[in-house]
Structure 1
Amino acid sequence: MDLDQFSKEAVEKRKSMASDPPRPQYHFQSPSNWVNDAHPIYWNGEYHMFYLYNPYGVTHGIVHWAHAVSEDLVHWRDLPIAMSPDTAHDNEGVRSGNVFIDDDGIPTAIYTGTGLAMGPGWRGRKRQAIRQYGLMAKSTDGMVTWKKHSKPIMGAPPYPGTRTHHDAQIWKDDDTWYQLVGGSYRGNGAALLHSSQNLEDWKYVGRIFTGENGDYGDHWELPYLLPFGSKHVMIIGIGVVPYFVGTYDSATHTFTPEYEGILDYGIEFYAPNPHMTDDKGVNGSERRLMVGWICEPNESPAPSNGWNGMFSIPRVVTLLPDNTLGFEPVPELKSLRKNHREFHNVSISETPNAN
């Protein structure tokens, strides 16, 4: 694979889009077409941005994992598509998940695949249906190419009352790996926990947090459980994204909310991913970063111009003393600042075609 040639082609495609007035200048987005759901990771001094991408059009379709890399969270270089829907378990889309480093130091992705499978139909007949699978892949060449595990690591939910599961968050506690996925339980959204000793064989632990009376929808996506000192924060994906501050009991694997807030009041902000940490905090401390998907409103001209969607500027996430989440744009963005100018007492008239 000629990485230099791929990068040149991506640069040319970006140049051809640059004259489009609505296209953002400093928010990261793909060279063209549809994007959603970022899966970033910091590794070996570089920031890798994996994200869902439809190479065939400007609407959500059979998505792939696209890939870009940066040294400063500001300037990004496109890399080849990391994973394509090329197996029976992801031929309808390589969907959301996360990347982490396994016990052997190997970059590992656990993600949701959607694939066509034969399932029960009307009067016992078989019919094709799209099913979700928990899948795994590993990379040994700096996360450029990925080798998929030969079979799913998780299939259909094995527990009564629960349907679907996807969008894995992965972490390790002592000798045990944990995987948190979104789903539903008896008409309410739920965050479902699984555990494993080897990343291949997973067992269901339980629901660590479940909605009540349909207050937070009947299905959750993209759940994240984040430690902040003695507290934990739970983020769930439903519409305007809420978060909950509370306590997590690692013995019973239950989360008890104490405070509630809204992550972002913009309805176009969705799929926030706070999984990535680096060592660029105060005195080299850990810094938690979050990137979200900014989808285009229905009236946007972007799709007709060859692109659809972008990603929020990276934010530093902290828990404030009043138990609300604090957000700051990463200071690296200051490198984009130019000469400052001030204007006072200026009247601006309406200009129909201002760009």
Structure 2
Amino acid sequence: MYYNGVYHEFYQYNPDGAFDPNDSLMNMVWGHSVSTDLINWIGLEPAIEPDTPSDICGCWTGSATILFGEQPVIIYTGLIDRKANQVQNIALPKNRSDPYLREWAKVGNNPVIQHVIPGLNSSHFRDPTTGWIGPDGLWRIAVGAEVNGIGTALLYKSKDFMNWTRIARPLYSNNALNMWECLDFFAVLPGSNNGLDMSSQIPSGAKHVLKVSINSCDMYIVGVYDLKRDEFVPDTVQDDNRLWTRIDYGTFYASKSFFDSKHGRRVIWAWSNETDSYSDDIAKGWAGIHSIPRTIWLDGDGKQLIQWPVEEIYLRLRESTLCRLTLR
């Protein structure tokens, strides 16, 4: 997220090492780094750690949303036991005057969303999206799930972002897929590289994009958001998920986008697992890197996402080139 002049990147981090074959997923914390230019980053202490009953076995993926009144809030998946049963929790910054928002506190009513849905696989119920506002003024999020063996984006509503009610109809589901990870849902204007803030009114003519992470790749479909039914309607229904469009054809997974209010753009980046062996990961001291942040938008015909490295990359490259030319 971008908040008060600072970019915050939160990410899955194992503080005990690059790889732990027994508990690599059961001791995840939320790593936290900050930047003012998307190039130079300062690593901070973890923002969220597994220390309450609602996340005691790991703090998994979630999203940051900035509420009215400039209140940042994190909603994330917590593992409540070694069977990987999952619930959704909320954390707030302890001190909003701290420019880096170093410390976060979990709310007292966690978990705010539990796995009490008929047919839900409670170990496949995770990764809530950034919140968005509906025409009724209520907040909405989607949570990836497997319900009766079907990949589903469950939809929840809230007035205060703390108390959530599930909508009977999912945001979208597809019986050709199982669990959907790392959902992302955002609005775009065809042919415009300006980003849209999902917490504001979306202009007419906008499309929506639903991105899911599955089968080691990130795939998306473009469509419209039916406000009356609270439902995502794809422009083209593809029952075979192999026909969905991929964001990237490399090792690019679990991507997440956010609206950058500083530059009026939507920025996306992802995790790349580098395809190294476990022994290599241990030797180098890390497992996985982050992709370069990219601006992402929809092409003019409204069918395909376009992406390009953020302009800060080029400004830095130009500065480096001029410096080398001067030294010569």
Please indicate the TM-score interval, normalised by the length of the shorter structure: 0.7 to 0.9
Report if aligned partners of 2:113, 2:164 keep a CA contact under 8 Å in 1. no
Deviation at 1:210, TM superposition (A): 0.8
Q: How does 1:231-246 map to 2 (within 5 A)?
A: 231-239=207-215, 240-246=217-223
1:42 counterpart letter in structure 2: Y
Q: Residue 208 of structure 2 aligns to which amino acid in structure 1?
A: H
The question of whether the paired residues in 2 share the 8 Å contact of 1:98 and 1:109 is answered with yes
| Cα separation, 1, equivalents of 2:245 and 2:309 | 19
Q: List runs of 5+ in structure 2 lacking aligned partners.
A: 190-205, 237-243, 323-328
Native 8 Å contact 1:319 1:325 kept in 2:
yes
Counterpart CA distance in 1 for 2:186 and 2:306 is 14
**Equivalent AA in structure 2 for residue 148 of structure 1:** K
Q: State how far apart, in whole Å, the 2-side matches of 1:184 and 1:130 are.
A: 14
What residue is the counterpart of 2:285 in the other structure?
306
Q: Which structure would you say has the larger RCO, counting Cα contacts within 8 Å and 6 or more residues apart? A: 1
Q: Which has the higher strand share?
A: 1
| TM-aligned CA deviation for residue 153 of structure 1 | 4.0
Runs (5+) with no aligned partner, structure 1: 1-40, 117-127, 281-285, 341-355
**Alpha-carbon contact 2:180-2:212 (below 8 Å) kept:** yes
Contact 1:246 1:256 in 2 (8 A): yes
Paired residue secondary structure (1:274): strand
1:162 maps to which residue?
A: 120
Q: Deviations over 1:240-289 (max 9, x none)?
A: 211101111011011121254111111x2100001342331xxxxx2000
User: TM-score, normalising length from structure 1?
Assistant: 0.74
Q: Is the 8 A contact 1:50 1:66 kept in 2?
A: yes
Does 1:264 pair with 2:248? Answer: yes
Match of 2:162 among 197, 200, 205: 200
Shift of 1:326: 0.3
1:58-77 alignment to 2 at 5 Å?
A: 58-59=18-19, 60-61=24-25, 62-77=27-42
Cα displacement string for residues 301-324 of structure 1 (whole angstroms, at most 9, x for unaligned residues): 233221111100000010001310
Distance 1:200 1:339, change over 3 A: closer
- With normalisation by structure 2, the TM-score equals 0.80
Aligned to 1:321: 300
Equivalent position of 2:71 in the other structure: 106
Distance 2:225 2:133 in 1: 15
Q: CA deviation at 1:155?
A: 4.1
Query: What is aligned with 1:173?
Result: 134
Alignment partners' CA distance in 1, 2:311 and 2:159: 38
Contact 1:185 1:210 in 2 (8 A): no
In structure 1, C-alpha distance between the alignment counterparts of 2:139 and 2:77, rounded to whole Å: 17
Q: Look up the match of 2:198.
A: none
Equivalent pairs counted in the alignment come to 280
Match of 1:146 among 90, 104, 111: 104
The two structures, once aligned, show a CA RMSD in angstroms of: 1.8
Q: Aligned residue for 1:11?
A: none
Identity over aligned residues, as a percent?
A: 31
Partner of 1:287: 265
The one-character-per-residue Cα deviations of 1:24-64 (angstroms, maximum 9, x if unpaired) are xxxxxxxxxxxxxxxxx011111111111111011233111
How big is each residue's C-alpha offset from its partner over 1:176-200, in whole Å with a ceiling of 9 and x where there is no partner? Answer: 0111110012212111100011222
Q: Distance in 1 between matches of 2:214 and 2:260?
A: 24
